[in-house]
Amino acid sequence: MIASATNNYRCFFTRGVLVAAMVLFSGCAGIPETKPTADYSTTVSYALSLQGAPYHYGKSSPAEGFDCSGFVKHVYEHQGISLPRTVQEMAQSLTQVSKSDLHSGDLVFFNTDGKPFSHVGIYLNNDNFIHAPSQRTGKVLVSSLKNRYWGDRFSCARRP
């Protein structure tokens, strides 16, 4: 009786392992992921390395300078992720994230000229983000969402 129960247990256990393996491996054979995932620590490190790069409207390279969307697009392309060129297109094409769920590498959007998507930056952590704000500031820099100007103009966040 004990030998029979042990054999039944082994058979049940072996079937269970086989079924689990089939489920596990069949999941791997599904549709391949087509959208690359970002290494946000590398993305943020690269963005921070561009601090001080000149602001230049309509540009998107360290040599020529950056506007806000050109900066974000350049940083993500450096990681192999293609984003749209304009702030509006970025906001419309990416997944929304709540402000309370912000993670490093998320994009933060602002209403700086009467449009909800008129400025963009890359969230770092602790309410800080890096961006190419304007000709007046003249360079890529880190700002805080706690700053009244940026806090009052925050529109939403998106995740690339």
Q: Which of 28, 78, 119, 156 is flagged as catalytic? A: 119
Torsion of CA 73, 134, 102, 79, to 10 degrees: 20
Contacts of 145 (CB under 8 A, 6+ apart): 108, 127, 128, 129, 151, 154
Neighbours of 121 (CB within 10 A): 26
Q: Are strands 60-61 and 119-125 parallel, antiparallel or unpaired?
A: unpaired
Please tell me what DSSP assigns to residue 96: E
| Rounded Cα gap, residues 59 and 29, in angstroms | 42
| Rounded Cα gap, residues 117 and 154, in angstroms | 9
Whether 131 sits among the annotated catalytic residues: the reply is: yes
Q: Which of 28, 74, 131, 156 is flagged as catalytic? A: 131
Q: Which of 11, 28, 56, 68 is flagged as catalytic? A: 68
Amino acid at 29: A
Mind telling me the catalytic residues? 68, 119, 131
